[in-house]
Amino acid sequence: MPRGGVFQYDTPQAMLCFEVYKKGELAGQVDLSGAYVFQQDGIPVRADLAFADGQINCLKRVGGPCGLALLWEAGAPGTLMLPTTRLPDRKQPYILNLELARARVKQLVQKREDWGLFDYEAAGALGAQYEAVRQKFVRALQAPTPVEAADCADECLAAGIRLGEKMSLFHADVFLRRRRASSAGRVMSFGCRVDLPSSNDRFRERLLEVADFISLPTSLKLVGPKERTYRWEQIDDWVNWAFAHGRPIHAGPLVSFDPTDVPDWLYIWEHDYEALREILYEHIQRVLERYERKVRVWRVASGLHAYNSFNLTFEQIMELTRMSCSLVKKLAPRSVVIVDLVLPWGEYYARNQRTIPPLLYADMAVQSGIKFDGFGLQLYMGVPRDGLYVRDLLQVSSLLDEFLGFGVPLHVSAVQAPSDVVPDAWDAWGGRAPVSEGGRWHHDWNPRLQAEWLQAFCRVALSKPYVESICWRDLADYEGHYLPHGGLCRNDLAPKLAFRELRNFRAAMASLDDLIEQQNFPEEQ
């Protein structure tokens, strides 16, 4: 249990080692920039990682079986953040290639059972492909040398990733049909975040083409860039426009410690929790007094589990979540209150143990009786930052499945993938980094791949009956964008293929069978 917001471990350090093979020999180098060690339930743990002489050494701060996740070149499926299974400590190193393949085969078995794919006659081809993957893994286990085992495991892993994505889309299409035929099919909606200064007619026309609702930013940094000073003009303008055009408003965050949401003056109160709490309380009051009748959904507490710039304790984080949700419920009782989760795989917890793993935070919010109506989930792909590395569709679908047990609706409050790879791109965190270092989904990112990813994600997400909305992060590639080249339009508002894909997807939901037949998952090149 957390003590003072920090999960304590009294176990001595332990070593987990992996030999890494590439192209028939020990690897000369491995990128560990985004790698992390995890324990039971995928919770990251502190560990020192080092690579030398073809071997990754993981010096853990916790005992017991653990796994390693790292960005891995998996061949045709792309470069993805992939995990091993959890493994006990031993002196002899494991073969990383083999353990990555083992984890994928294990996940395939689990999801085939969870999704009941044995019950569908149309899934027979998937069953045959699974058997082929399993045979590849058996050959890897029986290989006489580590090099041969690694080669067989690489083939198994590539085939397993591809099969996992096909399984995810097959399952998605089955449940999309069911959802569309039920009353739950009427609550699905698509949105896009507005750029407050972009009030020109062309920007707004593009929004009307793809968005059922707009996401309106209301962070303290935007509303109160200076202490005791509030700026309402741009927000008022967008609220009036949304009402005039019949677009519901999702607003927020009201409380967020993401560095992009925190004004510089707030850090004055870094060591005074009571003063910080009062400032946030007043901010929520002011925003709600002005807009409570005009906003349908409030993203109230966003990312408090991940961004702990003020060194809050576990109890203080949960208390702020409770206070902010209760206040919004009191001042805007007819609105929907959302608790927003960011960086959903939780890598950040391996670097900063004064944070909270995302699903543990979600479970605590539910179990402690905090008054809220659903979770928000932010999901980004393609940037070399914790939480933003590329995952495959099976990983994404499995993540969404985790929310079933919470018993509340889920809103994808922000999602984005890039449309281009630029070797020297500015990101929202003020540094330069190649977008390609964040991983590849099948190929290098390009406009067509972005559109294919958007379509596949929408199918997977909306097949979950508890997912009520999907909001794309940026409409256009303006300066200061959150994710490089992540907009639906270019910076001149020329539509990308992803813009057309989202517009067509919305229209096709009225004729779901046509969508599933026409928007097939692209075959391997």
State whether 393 and 315 are in the same domain. yes
Q: Tens digits of per-residue pLDDT, 125-153?
A: 999 999 999 999 999 999 999 999 999 99
State whether 144 and 218 are in the same domain. no
pLDDT at 422: 55
pLDDT at 214: 97
337: in domain:
yes
CA distance 426 to 231: 27
State whether 393 and 421 are in the same domain. yes
pLDDT at 149: 97
Of 173, 201, 227, which residue constitutes the final position of a domain?
Answer: 173
pLDDT at 478: 82
Tell me: pLDDT of 461 over 80. Answer: yes
State whether 164 and 234 are in the same domain. no
511: in domain:
yes
Domain count, the chain: 2
Say which DSSP state 89 is in: -
> Among 182-186, 293-297, 422-426, which is the least confidently predicted range?
422-426
State whether 164 and 214 are in the same domain. no
pLDDT at 480: 67
pLDDT at 510: 58
Token pair in block for residue 111: 């999801």
Return the residue matching tokens 């009294």.
10
Average pLDDT value for residue range 448-459: 97
∠ CA(83), CA(89), CA(93), 5° rounding?
Answer: 75
CA distance 479 to 427: 9
Of 129, 146, 173, which residue constitutes the final position of a domain?
Answer: 173
Q: Tens digits of per-residue pLDDT, 398-426?
A: 999 999 999 999 999 999 999 997 544 44
Cis, peptide link before residue 253, omega less than 30° from 0: yes
Q: Tens digits of per-residue pLDDT, 98-112?
A: 999 999 999 999 999
pLDDT at 254: 97
pLDDT at 428: 44
Q: Which amino acid is at 318?
A: M
Strand blocks (E) in 392-507? 410-416, 425-426, 432-433, 440-441, 467-472
Domain carrying residue 265: 184-518
Tell me: pLDDT of 8 over 50. Answer: no
pLDDT at 323: 98
State whether 311 and 372 are in the same domain. yes
Entry pTM: 0.91
State whether 155 and 205 are in the same domain. no
pLDDT at 522: 45
CA distance 508 to 184: 17
Average pLDDT value for residue range 365-378: 96
Q: Give the sheet arrangement for strand 78-83, strand by strand.
A: 44-45, 36-38, 67-73, 78-83, 440-441
State whether 263 and 135 are in the same domain. no
159: in domain:
yes
Q: Which pLDDT band, with edges at 50, 70 and 90, does 353 fall under? A: confident
State whether 350 and 439 are in the same domain. yes
Of 151, 173, 195, which residue constitutes the final position of a domain?
Answer: 173
CA-to-CA dists, residue 46 to 71, 137, 237, 275, 344, angstroms: 18, 30, 47, 32, 18
State whether 140 and 68 are in the same domain. yes
More confident residue, 51 or 424: 51
Average pLDDT value for residue range 175-179: 88
